[in-house]
């Protein structure tokens, strides 16, 4: 029998954990697969640790990973994925904004052979207007500047097969992360399921607009090198404008009387600004290359190798090569 691992990252969620646990058990009890629940306690300072320990003591299918301190949502999810042992893994938040009732549908998709199941929000009941608008703009900008196309309104509620999880475990170990982006960039057979995000069941959101903005800028820089190229593009633009200005100033000097030193200042300014921006742009190009190397993302991910040659064929080929 196959097994699903449900990974839940939790930080100071004492008010919702009991309700989450009972909804998870209700959803998992009607599934075809066996289950394990991996709770990642991301350095909570409320009574979450005690509540989670209680679940693990009562139910051997519950694992609790206590992190040494608060590392943030993404790190907690990665820890959960690392320790999950199921054939399929579902990541979700603890606050019930990601309703456990969708779990059977996700398992159906795994049964159909899907590796990546992205849960896409249709309505965000609990979302603030500002936050929803900011999220829309963020995805539009990201999709415009990045070579990857990301599912708009995708959330940190997703399913991944064990082989996709292995890629995250071994290949995507960057410190600057965007987990749902990594998940979507793996490839394999992917599907989306639409869902209605619920209101937070209790407690309060941990992410302010400023924290989300900082996160958005980091992601943009992580998935697009356009910001680094601004230097070279503006340098080229400044050079073109500068050339026009230089020609114009020279004509003015020859044909009309202009204050002494004016032309020299204009020519020097245009030249130096263009040079500075172009040099900055070139440095940007090098940093882009260094960044790509340091990130060490996989160059490719093999889905399957089809090789219908028999052992005899291989030996024959090898012998022929040797003779040559």
Residue 313 tokens read as: 């064929």
Residue 133 interacts with, from Mg ion, ligand UDP, none (CB under 5-8 Å by kind): none
Closest CB 77 distance from ligand UDP, rounded Å: 8
**Nearest to ligand UDP of 76, 186 (CB atom):** 76
User: Distance between the two ends of the chain, CA-based, in angstroms?
Assistant: 52
**Paired residues of 192 in beta bridges:** 118
Cβ-contact 109, 196 below 8 angstroms: no
Residues making contact with Mg ion (CB under 5 A) = 93, 95, 97
Closest CB 42 distance from Mg ion, rounded Å: 13
Residue 146 interacts with, from ligand UDP, Mg ion, none (CB under 5-8 Å by kind): none
Q: How far apart are CA 148 and CA 220, in angstroms?
A: 11
Closest CB 206 distance from Mg ion, rounded Å: 8
Cβ-contact 290, 228 below 8 angstroms: no
3-state helix, strand and coil shares in percent for the chain, rounded to the nearest 5: 55, 15, 30
**Nearest to ligand UDP of 10, 263 (CB atom):** 10
**Nearest to Mg ion of 49, 126 (CB atom):** 126
Nearest to 155, CA basis, from 299, 309, 9: 9
Give the angle 128-132-133 at the CA atoms, nearest 5°: 115
Closest CB 156 distance from ligand UDP, rounded Å: 7
Closest CB 135 distance from ligand UDP, rounded Å: 9
Residue 213 interacts with, from ligand UDP, Mg ion, none (CB under 5-8 Å by kind): none
Residues making contact with ligand UDP (CB under 6 A) = 9-11, 13, 42, 70, 72-73, 76, 93-95, 97, 205-207
Residue 272 interacts with, from ligand UDP, Mg ion, none (CB under 5-8 Å by kind): none
Q: How far apart are CA 178 and CA 33, in angstroms?
A: 29
**Nearest to ligand UDP of 70, 234 (CB atom):** 70
Residue 66 interacts with, from Mg ion, ligand UDP, none (CB under 5-8 Å by kind): none
Residue 98 interacts with, from Mg ion, ligand UDP, none (CB under 5-8 Å by kind): none
Residue 94 interacts with, from Mg ion, ligand UDP, none (CB under 5-8 Å by kind): ligand UDP
Closest CB 111 distance from ligand UDP, rounded Å: 27
**Nearest to Mg ion of 41, 97 (CB atom):** 97
Residue 64 tokens read as: 């609790």
3-class SS at 76? helix
**Nearest to Mg ion of 93, 115 (CB atom):** 93
| Class of residue 50 by CB neighbours under 10 A (exposed 0-12, middle 13-18, buried 19+) | exposed
Closest CB 287 distance from ligand UDP, rounded Å: 30
Sheet holding 154-161, edge to edge: 62-66, 34-41, 3-10, 88-93, 154-161, 116-124, 190-197
**Nearest to Mg ion of 24, 266 (CB atom):** 24
The DSSP symbol for 101 reads G
């Amino acid at each position: 029998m196959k097994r699903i691992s449900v990974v839940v990252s939790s930080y100071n969620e004492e008010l919702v954990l009991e309700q989450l646990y009972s909804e998870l058990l209700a959803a998992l009890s009607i599934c075809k697969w066996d289950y394990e629940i991996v709770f990642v306690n991301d350095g909570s300072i409320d009574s979450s640790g005690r509540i989670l320990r209680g679940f693990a003591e009562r139910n051997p299918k519950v694992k609790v990973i206590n992190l040494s301190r608060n590392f943030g949502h993404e790190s907690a999810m990665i820890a959960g994925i690392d320790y999950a042992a199921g054939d399929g893994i579902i990541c979700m938040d603890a606050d019930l904004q990601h309703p456990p009732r969708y779990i059977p549908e996700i398992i159906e998709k795994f049964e159909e052979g899907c590796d990546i199941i992205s849960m896409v929000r249709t309505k965000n009941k609990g979302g603030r207007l500002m936050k929803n608008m900011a999220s829309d703009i963020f995805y539009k900008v990201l999709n415009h500047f990045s070579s990857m196309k990301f599912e708009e309104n995708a959330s940190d509620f997703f399913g991944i097969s064990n082989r996709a999880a292995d890629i995250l475990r071994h290949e995507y170990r960057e410190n600057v992360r965007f987990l749902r982006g990594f998940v979507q960039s793996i490839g394999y057979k992917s599907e989306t399921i639409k869902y209605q995000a619920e209101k937070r069941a209790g407690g309060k959101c941990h992410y302010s607009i400023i924290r989300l903005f900082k996160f958005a800028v980091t992601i943009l820089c992580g998935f697009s090198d356009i910001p680094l190229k601004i230097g070279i593009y503006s340098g080229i633009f400044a050079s073109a404008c500068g050339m026009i200005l230089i020609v114009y100033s020279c004509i003015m000097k020859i044909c009309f009387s202009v204050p002494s030193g004016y032309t020299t200042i204009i020519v020097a300014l245009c030249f130096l600004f263009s040079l500075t921006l172009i040099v900055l742009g070139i440095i940007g190009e090098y940093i882009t290359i260094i960044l790509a190397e340091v990130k060490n993302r996989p160059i490719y991910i093999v889905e399957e190798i089809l090789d219908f040659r028999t052992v005899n064929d291989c030996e024959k080929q090898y012998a022929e090569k040797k003779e040559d």
